[in-house]
Each structure stands twice: as C-alpha cells, then as structure tokens.
Amino acid sequence: MPRIIIKNKNIKSPARASYAARELSNDNSMKKEIVFPLIVGLIFGLLIMIFWQFIARLNVQNTRLAQLEQLTTQNTQSVNDIIAFINQATAQGTGTETPATTN
C-alpha cells in the first residue's frame, strides 16, 4: 500500500500518494529541460530567416545593378554615335577644303 503524505491537517484536500508526487516532479523537470533548447532553436531559426531575406534582397539588387550597367552602356554608345554624326555633318557643311594660297 502506498504511503500517503499529509502536510497540513487543516486543509481539506485529497491526499496524494508519495509515488504520485515523484511523477509530477519528473514531469516538471522534463518541461524545464525542453524549454531552453526550444528557445535557442527559435532564435536560431529566426536568425536563419533574417539572413535568408537579406541574401534574397541582395540578389535582387545585384540583378538591378547589372541591368542598370547594361542600359548605361547602351545609352553611352547611342550618345557617342549621335555626337559622331553631328560632328561629321558639321564638318561637311562648313567646308573643310583648304583655301588656295598665292605666293
């Protein structure tokens, strides 16, 4: 027969057996052992998600920068072609012929 623990005789609560008290204390210690790794795991998972978002945004910005460089190169070439055309047209219109000199 299990031993019954009675702490205070004035309190009218059901008596518990000593083996029941031991089982409850083991459950509480198990819960305490699980809480710390759970918190560490959540923090670690949160850090992984933050870095993942950072890398994704960095890749998007890298793609945009590459597109901007490509457009800048195309626009520079277009401007150079226009300037060369204007220079060529103005050189022909002013007459690049050298005047004859008399001695």
pLDDT in tens, 61-79: 999 999 999 999 999 999 9
Query: What are the φ and ψ backbone dihedral angles of 78, each rounded to 5 degrees?
Result: -65, -45
Distance CA 77, CA 85 (A): 12
pLDDT in tens, 47-59: 999 999 999 999 9
Q: Residue 95: left if φ>0, alpha if ψ -120 to 50, beta else—which one?
A: left
Distances (CA, A) of 76 to 64, 69, 70, 95: 18, 10, 10, 29
In the block, tokens 């890398």 appear at 55
**Residue 44: pLDDT band with limits 50, 70, 90:** very high
pLDDT at residue number 29: 62
Q: Which amino acid, residue 15? A: A
Q: Please answer whether residues 67 and 75 qualify as being in contact, where contact means their C-beta atoms are separated by less than 8 angstroms.
A: no
pLDDT at residue number 91: 85
